Amino acid sequence: MTRTPVAMRRMLAILLLCALLAGCSGKPADPASAEDTHAHPEGEAHEDEAAAESTRITDAQARAAGIVSAAVGPGTIADEHEVQGLLAPVDGRSAQVTARFPGPVRALRANVGDRVRAGQPLASIESNLSLTTYSIAAPISGVVLSRQVQLGAVAAEGQVLFDIGDLSQLWVDLHIFGADTQHITAGVPVTITRMTDGITQTATLERVLPGTATASQSTVARATIDNADGLWRPGAAVRARIVVASTPAPLAVPLTALQSLEGKDVVFVREGDTYQARVVQLGARDARQVAITAGLQAGEQVVVEQSYTVKADIGKAGAAHEH
């Protein structure tokens, strides 16, 4: 198609105007970039990210929720083993009470479970030989474990009438399995926990017995505990934590402080009413705490109880911010 001189002049004018505009601006304007600048002012993205990983909780709210914070400090990471065992009377701390002469039992002065002292009369028997009554006394102080005679029954010479045990101390026989037997030796500390109420007592592992227990094929490690209150009972099962070695850690937090956010290990650092998620690097751990190798400084306040409550609150704050 043949262009007229007028059309050609108009086209040249348009091209010249475009060239002048480009020269003044240096580069064409990007409408999308301009839009983003107005939508997200400088620094707002960083503020949004920080807001999504923190929350504000007042002192009153923290107390009501059971949230507790503590200063970060050094700790000790223990190489420990959890085992189970049984309580047993200590050998040499029990005695049997027997009849010296045959004859009918005329009196019984102790029942199973009674505490008796050495020399205390336990029974009276009329001797068939002399027709006189003689007294049977406790040879040791302890607890009556069994009574094997009834009032009026005829006791034979040498018959066992009572079993008495001194239960002021008990053996704790702990069963060790597999590779643990190579690490556990006498002299290491052990904490024994009563299963009925969770009461604990510390002791020292005295010896590892030779051979293995026939029924369980385990190695038995033995400690002695105090039983002055009589609440530890022979035959009862217990749990125990044996500490093989301990390693100091410059910084450590309880495992209850540790949470996960977006696949990262975090703790919640408190500054006033603000609780901020802080990514940390972890070292060795035991059953109660973990070493922190990066991400925290000594003295910072970290949530050590109800940390999952803070995590949930941060999750709600992030969801609200997105909307």
Query: In the predicted model, is pLDDT for residue 231 greater than 70?
Result: yes
Q: Are residues 159 and 187 in the same domain?
A: no
Residue that finishes a domain, picked among 225, 247, 269? 247
Contacts of 294 by beta carbon, 8 Å cutoff, 6+ apart? 280, 281
Is residue 32 in some structural domain? no
Q: Are residues 203 and 84 in the same domain?
A: yes
Q: pLDDT higher for 214 or 292?
A: 292
Q: Which amino acid is at 117?
A: R
**240, 222 in Cβ contact below 8 A?**
no
In whole angstroms, give the CA distance from residue 80 to residue 238.
Answer: 16
**275, 310 in Cβ contact below 8 A?**
yes
The predicted pLDDT at position 229 comes to 85
Cβ neighbours of 212 (radius 10 Å): 15
For the residues 95-110, what does the mean pLDDT come to?
96
CA distances (Å), origin 143, targets 25, 140, 162, 178: 103, 9, 10, 37
pTM value? 0.59
Query: Using 50, 70 and 90 to split pLDDT, how confident is the model at 23?
Result: very low
Which residue has 């302890």 as its token pair? 142
In whole angstroms, give the CA distance from residue 193 to residue 287.
Answer: 15
CA distances (Å), origin 12, targets 4, 17, 18, 84, 284: 13, 9, 10, 97, 77
Q: Quote the domain boundaries for residue 301.
A: 46-75+249-322
Q: Looking at the DSSP assignment, which residues form a beta bridge with residue 124?
A: 107, 135
Is residue 1 in some structural domain? no
pLDDT tens string 288-306: 899 999 999 999 999 999 9
pLDDT tens string 237-264: 999 999 888 889 999 999 999 999 989 9
Is residue 310 in some structural domain? yes
In whole angstroms, give the CA distance from residue 271 to residue 281.
Answer: 21
Domain total for the chain? 3
Closest CA relative to residue 124, chosen from 114, 140, 110: 110
Read off the CATH number of the domain in which 274 is found. 2.40.420.20
Max Cα distance, the chain (Å): 159
Is residue 35 in some structural domain? no
In whole angstroms, give the CA distance from residue 67 to residue 307.
Answer: 7
Residue that finishes a domain, picked among 111, 136, 165? 165
Cβ neighbours of 211 (radius 10 Å): 7
**171, 93 in Cβ contact below 8 A?**
no
Helix (H, G, I), strand (E, B) or coil at 199: coil
DSSP string, 124-158: EEE-TTT--EEEEE-SSSEEEEEE---TTPEEPTT
